[in-house]
């Protein structure tokens, strides 16, 4: 991939240091236009710092990056016009009402009054908070504030949308509703970059993800490819009676297994065929099986395999 305009984001050797701490460490990446890209990683991995540099809120210590061909430092004003940002923390002026937050914001971007009124109405409608248009924003619930943060980022019709943990603290139902809204925006052509702790969020939304740890990308690819490349495709968990089983490695599809306290975990390459074979093998070996669960691998498994730690401490 080149570094020309077809890239929504192009990053080269980007680094940020804070008094001896390297928060983002020589990162390189291209994100194509129209991608839905996820940055996944534990607290302190450097996700927010990376986004803050890309959106012009923090100056890189070294390296470079561009948004649709505009350098984030040299062409900062141009590049900022192309993006929308929903930060992790609410930062609304509490003296403003919901709709005013949107119209004032678009005013900074020089949008004419009639257009910004209409745009704000459309966005409130899209985010299903039209009935709160005239409420003061500090009266809104957490979930409504989350939607408003996204709505504000959409006002200037960004080509690239940055969302820093857009669903933190919202309930499962709203999270799914927000996912639907974000998918729609992406399908209409907006490039989206989001950071998240939620594995299901990255897996459900993102075409590609980068897993970050200690300021670096430790894995990059589609969620499926990462799971295939980095971990066994799935594992079977059996509750059995006793602490002995015949050697399972002779069963086709079995990669490895472990047994402890009557819990047998079998890593297999193809769940659909291996599950039945393992079960038959155990039964013919005289092992009483109380229950069996299939657990598909997740991006969390990828992270654990690569770092030996869990994503959420
Ligand atoms: N302004 C700052 N001054 C000093 N250190 C900072 C500053 N901002 C971030 N850091 C440090 O840089 C590292 C990366 O932080 P960052 O917020 O980018 O991580 P993150 O992956 O976004 O984490 P989280 O998921 O908690 O938001 C952390 O060790 C953090 O303490």
pLDDT in tens, 7-25: 999 999 999 999 989 999 9
Q: What mean pLDDT is predicted for residues 89-118?
A: 90
Q: Quick check: is 304 in a domain?
A: no
Q: Name the helix (H) or strand (E) containing 164.
A: strand 160-164
Last residue of a domain, one of 213, 228, 243: 228
Same domain, 245 and 216: no
Q: Quick check: is 307 in a domain?
A: no
More confident residue, 134 or 43: 134
The pLDDT score that the predictor gives to residue 226 is 84
Q: 45, 164, 169: which to mutate for ligand 1, most atoms within 8 A of CB? A: 45
Give me ligand 1 centre to Cα 152, in Å. Answer: 24
Same domain, 139 and 255: no
Q: 49, 87, 311: which to mutate for ligand 1, most atoms within 8 A of CB? A: 49
User: How far apart are the two ends of the chain, measured CA to CA in Å?
Assistant: 36
Q: Quick check: is 87 in a domain?
A: yes
Q: How would residue 232 be classed by pLDDT, with cut points 50, 70 and 90?
A: low
Same domain, 137 and 258: no
Angle between helices 142-154 and 172-187 (to 10 degrees): 10
The pLDDT score that the predictor gives to residue 2 is 43
The pLDDT score that the predictor gives to residue 1 is 42
Q: How would residue 231 be classed by pLDDT, with cut points 50, 70 and 90?
A: low
Residue 244 has pLDDT above 70, yes or no: yes
Ligand 1 atom at shortest distance from the alpha carbon of 41: 21
Same domain, 174 and 252: no
The pLDDT score that the predictor gives to residue 233 is 59
Q: Can you tell me the distance from the alpha carbon of 22 to that of 65, in angstroms, rounded to the nearest whole number? A: 18
- CATH number where 114 lies: 3.40.50.300
- CATH number where 277 lies: 3.30.70
Q: Quick check: is 313 in a domain?
A: no
Q: Name the helix (H) or strand (E) containing 273.
A: helix 271-284
Last residue of a domain, one of 206, 228, 250: 228
| Neighbour count for residue 99 (Cβ, 10 Å) | 23
Same domain, 215 and 292: no
Same domain, 210 and 271: no
Same domain, 221 and 285: no
Same domain, 88 and 222: yes
The pLDDT score that the predictor gives to residue 67 is 97
Is ligand 1 within 6 A of the CB of residue 152? no
Residue 281 has pLDDT above 50, yes or no: yes
Describe the strand order of the beta sheet including 208-213 as a list of residue ranges: 83-86, 160-164, 191-196, 36-40, 208-213, 216-221
Q: How would residue 3 be classed by pLDDT, with cut points 50, 70 and 90?
A: very low
Domain that holds residue 269: 233-296
Q: Are 306 and 36 in contact (CB under 8 A)?
A: no
The pLDDT score that the predictor gives to residue 224 is 86
Q: Can you tell me the distance from the alpha carbon of 270 to that of 258, in angstroms, rounded to the nearest whole number? A: 18
Average pLDDT, the chain: 89
Q: Quick check: is 171 in a domain?
A: yes
Q: What is the pTM of this model?
A: 0.81
Same domain, 122 and 136: yes
Number of domains in the chain: 2
């Amino acid at each position: 991939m080149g570094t020309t305009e077809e890239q929504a984001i192009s990053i080269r050797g980007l680094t940020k240091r804070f008094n001896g701490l390297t928060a983002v460490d020589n990162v390189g990446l291209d994100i194509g236009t129209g991608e839905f890209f996820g940055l996944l990683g534990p607290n302190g991995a450097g996700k927010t710092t990376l986004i803050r540099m890309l959106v012009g809120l923090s100056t890189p210590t070294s390296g470079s990056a561009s948004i649709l061909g505009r350098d984030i430092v040299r062409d900062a004003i141009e590049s900022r016009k192309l993006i929308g940002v929903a930060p992790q923390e609410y930062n609304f002026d509490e003296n403003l009402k919901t709709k005013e937050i949107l119209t004032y914001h678009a005013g900074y971007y020089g949008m004419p009054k009639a257009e910004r009124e209409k745009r704000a109405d459309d966005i409130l409608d899209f985010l299903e908070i039209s009935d709160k248009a005239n409420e003061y924003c500090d009266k809104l619930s957490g979930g409504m504030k989350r939607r408003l943060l996204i709505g504000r980022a959409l006002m200037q019709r960004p080509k690239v949308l940055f969302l820093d943990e857009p669903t933190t603290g919202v309930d499962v139902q709203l999270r799914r509703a927000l996912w639907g809204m974000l998918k729609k925006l992406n399908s209409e052509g907006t490039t989206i970059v989001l950071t998240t702790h939620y594995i299901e969020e990255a897996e459900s939304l993102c075409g590609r993800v980068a897993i970050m740890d200690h300021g670096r990308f430790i894995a990059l690819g589609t969620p499926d490819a990462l799971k295939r490349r980095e971990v066994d495709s799935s594992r079977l968990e059996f509750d059995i009676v006793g602490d002995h089983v015949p050697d399972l490695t002779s069963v086709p599809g079995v990669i490895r297994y472990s047994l402890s306290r009557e819990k047998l975990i079998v890593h297999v390459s193809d769940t659909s065929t291996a599950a039945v074979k393992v079960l038959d093998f155990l039964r013919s070996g005289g092992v009483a099986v109380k229950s069996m669960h299939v657990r598909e691998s997740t991006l969390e498994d990828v992270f654990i395999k690569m770092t030996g730690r869990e994503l959420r401490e």
